Each structure stands twice: as structure tokens, then as C-alpha cells.
Amino acid sequence: MTPGQCGIIRQNTATGADAAYLRALGLRCNQRIRLCRATGPWIVEVGCQGGPACRIGLARDMAERVQVEVAVSVSAR
């Protein structure tokens, strides 16, 4: 993903405590997210479906464990 893109989490490849941490942050399968920043700590907006959303910071190695299917924008169709 590039900053500004939205997507849907399809898999979390973290294990053990790291997997539990990501789930506690709301980074679960089928959750919609938006990448806000991909430098330094990655900033991810969780729940960007028009309702309440929250932004979290993740270390790059942790962020790379979350596999996302990039959503196709309406204007790209």
C-alpha cells in the first residue's frame, strides 16, 4: 500500500504476543484500514468506513506482518 490507500486486512503473519498485540489494536482479518504514513513509525487508520476511526503507530517490522488487500477506488473503475 501507499499512503492514502485503503484496504482490507486479509492475514496477520505475526505469532504469539505480537499477533495478540495487533488484534488488541484492532488489526484483525476483514478490518478496513488506511495507510496514513509509511516512514518512521507507520501510521494506520483503523475503521476508516465513515464511522469512528482511530490512528495507531506501528514499527515497520510489525506493520509488514499485516497483509492487506488494497481496495479499488470508485474512480479507478
pTM: 0.82
pLDDT of residue 49: 65
Rounded mean pLDDT for each run of 10 residues along the chain, 77 residues in total? 93 94 92 92 84 86 93 59
Q: Position of cell 464511522?
A: 51
| Distance (Å, whole) CA 25 – CA 57 | 10
DSSP letter string, 24-72: HTT--TT-EEEEEE-SSSEEEEE--SSS--EEEEE-HHHHTTEEEEEPP
Angle (CA) 52 62 33, round 5°:
25
CATH of 6-76, one of 2.60.120.430, 3.40.50.300, 2.10.25.10, 2.30.30.90: 2.30.30.90
